[in-house]
Amino acid sequence: MAQRGRRNVWVTSGIGAAAVAGVVGFGAWQAMEKPAIASVSPDPDGAVASAAPQLRVNLSNIDRVSDLSVQVDGADVTPAVRGAKGTLLIPTEGLKDGLHRAHVRFRTDNVFARTVERSWQFTVDTKAPEMALKSPANDAISTKRAVVFEGTAEPGSTVAVAWKGGSRSTTATPGGKFRLRARLPEGLTATRVTARDKAGNTTASDGEVIVDTIAPTITVASPKGGATLTATDTPLVTGTIGRDKPELLTFGVTVNGRQTVSIPGAAGVGAAPLADGATTTVASSTPAAGLSIEGKSFQLDPGALPQGKNVVEIWVKDAAGNVARKRMRLFVDSTNEFGEHDMVVGATGDDAKALNERLKGLGLLRGKVTATFTKRTRNALVAYQKRRSVKPTGVVDQKTRDAMVGKIVVDLSERTLRLYRDGKVFKRYKVAVGQPAYPTPTGTFKVVNKQVDPTWMPPSSPWAKGLGPIPPGPGNPLGTRWIGTSAPAVGIHGTYADYSIGTAASHGCMRMHIPDVEDLYKYVSVGMPVVINP
C-alpha cells in the first residue's frame, strides 16, 4: 500500500519510446531517457504578484510517477495536485507576502532514477513598488530634447519612460535611485513613467513635458543703434515679436551689462500706450514705467540711461528660457547737471567737467580737467569708490552720487544749513526758518526741482489768499534761486530781506542770503537728501 500523503499520478507526455526499447534493449533505453524535473514555476528565487499562484513542475521523460509528495511551506498539498501533459499543477491560496518554499518528491519505474525530487523558494509580492518622480515636473518646459527623468523607486525595479514613438528604461540602484535620458520631440509630449518590480507589480506616473528649443524672434524699430539722445535719457523702445505670443514672454533690458528691466508680457496686454521720453530731471535709479503690447507690437520703457556711451540690450525670453536679444549702442547727452543722472565713459558737458573737478580736488585725477568722462576719469572714480566703500563699478551710479554729491542738513534751532560731502561739512550757511505759526517741517526729504529766477506762485494757504504771481526781480520773495524739496510747499530759496536771516520769519521755507543760495545752488542736484532737524 502507498504511504499516507503519497499518490500515483499518470502524466501523459506523448513520448513513443516503447518502440526504441525493442531495438536497443530496455536497460539502454532507460539509461538514455532518464526521468527528471526539467523546470519549475515560479522560477527558483523568483517572485509572483499573486497570493494564490499555481506552481508548475515540468517533467522530462516521465509517463507515470508514484509515491508523489508535494509540500508548500512544510504543509502537505499532495491531494490537490493535478497532472497534465508532462506537468504537475500545484494550486495554492492565501500565501502572505514574503519568502515561500516548495518541495516535490516522487518515484518512477526507471532503474536509473527511482526517486526524483526538487526544492526551491520563491517570493510572493502583491504590493506595487514605490516610485517618486523628482523631475521633470508635470508641464515642465525643457530647452533641450534630451530630457532627464530622475527620482526614487524600489531598489532593483525596472523604471521605464514611454511616449508616443519611443521608450527608455533603466534599473533602480540598490539605494533606490534612477536617472535616465529620453530624447523627446519638439512640442508637447505625454509621458508615462513606470516602475515594475521583480514580481511584475507596477506603479505609473503620467505627465506632460514641453520641449522648446527655438528662441523667440524680436525686431526693434526704435531707437536706432548708434543714435545720440539729447532730448531725453529715457527713450521709448518699440518693436515686434515673431512667432511667439508676446503675452507669454518676458521682456527685459540690460544696460552696460546690468539688467534694469524685467516685465512679464501679460502685464503689457491691454496697457495704455507709453509716452515717448522727454527731458527729465528724474534720477536714473527710477524704474521703468512699463510695457504696452498690441498684437505683435510692443512698447517698452527701459528706464533712465546713464549719460555717455551705453550698450543697451533689449531681450525677450520664453517660458523655456530661450532668449532673443537685440543689442545697440546709444550715446546719451541730455543734461549738464552733475549729480542728477548716472554717468558712464563717454559722457560730455558740464556734468562730466564737474565730475573731473571733484576727482581732481580729491587728488585722484591727474592732468588737465576736461569736459569728458574718459577712461582716466573712470580709473579715478574707481579709486574714489573704494575710498568711500562703494562698489567700484567705474560708473556714477546712485550710491556714488549720494556719496559724491552729499546731503543738506538743516538745524532749525541753530538756524544753520550745512552741505555735507564725503561725510564732512563742505559748506555752512545761516538761514531763516518758519515762524511758530508756520513751522518748518522736520524729517528726511529730498530735492525734487531747481529753478533759476523763479516766479513766485501763491500757495493754497490762508495767509496767501488774494495774492497773485510775482515775476522774477527784486520784489520776488524767492530771490534768484529756488530749490524745491519733497516737503509740501517747502523749499530753500533766496530773499531780499537780509535782516530776516538767522530768525524764525518765513512761512515754512528756509531763506538764505542771495549770494549764499546762488553758491549752494551750484552744488545741489535733484534727488539729494535734505535732513531737517529740530
Catalytic residue positions? 493, 509
Radius of gyration from C-alpha coordinates of the chain: 46
In contact, 373 and 382? CB cutoff 8 Å: no
Could you tell me how far CA 194 lies from the centroid of its own chain?
Answer: 29
Are 372 and 347 contacting, i.e. CB atoms less than 8 angstroms apart?
yes
Residue in the structure block whose three cell numbers are 549719460: 307
Q: Up-side HSE of residue 291: CA atoms within 13 Å toward CB?
A: 24
> 252, 261 in Cβ contact below 8 A?
yes
What DSSP string describes 283-320?
-TTPPP--EEEETTEEEE---PPPBEEEEEEEEEE-TT
Partners of residue 177 on adjacent β-strands: 152
| Burial per residue of 251-278, b for 16 or more beta-carbon CB atoms within 10 angstroms, e otherwise | bbbbbbeeebbebebeebeeeeebeebe
Instruction: Calculate the alpha carbon distances from 282 to 292, 303, 347, 432 in Å.
Output: 22, 10, 18, 29
Which ranges in 260-414 belong to alpha helices (H)?
350-361, 375-387, 398-405
For residue 401, which of 343, 356, 484 has the smallest C-alpha distance? 343
80 Cβ contact list (under 8 Å, min separation 6): 90, 91
Alpha helices in 181-320 (DSSP H): none
Q: Is 116 helix (H, G, I), strand (E, B) or coil?
A: strand
- Rounded to an integer, what distance in angstroms lies between the CA atom of residue 83 and that of residue 12? 8
Contact in structure between 384 and 507 (CB atoms under 8 Å): no
Alpha helices in 397-499 (DSSP H): 398-405
